[in-house]
Amino acid sequence: MARAALLSRVLSRPRLAKGSAGPPAEAAPRKRRPLLPLLGRAVAMACAFAVMVAFAVVLARLTLEPSPASEPLTHSNLRPGDSLRAYLDQPQLRDAVKQIGGNLLLGVPFGVLVPVLAPRARGVLRVLLLTAVVMLTVELAQGAMVTGRAFDIDDVILNTTGALAGYLLVGRRLGRAVHARS
């Protein structure tokens, strides 16, 4: 009787594949489905592209338009923090907020739109690096070619900080929603 029970238990166990050491593996977990269907992702990317183009036009108008009246006041700043101290030492707080806040806001669209438009640039470091390179290029062009404008490293730092805020607040989630990882 004991032999019959033992034989019954052995026969009822799942069979192992030849050469395997354990029970059969469970089915692989299902891949995550994208949150947005293909058409929705295409529309989201087209909208993001249109917003980025509009932003580029605004950025060019704000930073690359000549300002002949400011020519005697302009000077390049290669030392981080110098312009920030000058802004904060102004008697009108409104002027400091306008300069610092404006430069922060100019970077926010990069943090929001880059993860949507460039799925390979979705990490925080990649977004910051891309923003810094673009803003550095804008500042160099501004300082070299535009009357009444100068290169300012603090502007690059503020723009990149704005991109970080945009990425952390909206861009990371928006990029994941449009481009779900497979």
Percentage of the chain lying above the pLDDT 90 cut: 32
In a domain, 171, yes or no: yes
* 167 three-state secondary structure: helix
How many domains does the structure of the chain reveal? 1
In a domain, 12, yes or no: no
In a domain, 7, yes or no: no
Domain extent for 41: 35-67+77-178
∠ CA 173-175-180, nearest 5°, is: 95
- pTM beyond 0.85, yes or no: no
In a domain, 29, yes or no: no
Q: What is the pLDDT of residues 28-73, one digit of tens each?
A: 566 665 555 777 778 888 888 888 889 888 888 887 788 776 676 6
Q: What is the pLDDT of residues 77-132, one digit of tens each?
A: 889 999 889 888 888 888 888 889 999 999 999 999 999 888 888 789 999 999 99
In a domain, 115, yes or no: yes
Least Cα distance to 55 among 166, 146, 151, 154 occurs for 166
Least Cα distance to 181 among 68, 33, 36, 47 occurs for 33
77 pairs with which residues across the strands?
152
CB-CB contact of 169 with 107 (8 Å): no
How many residues in the chain? 182
In a domain, 27, yes or no: no
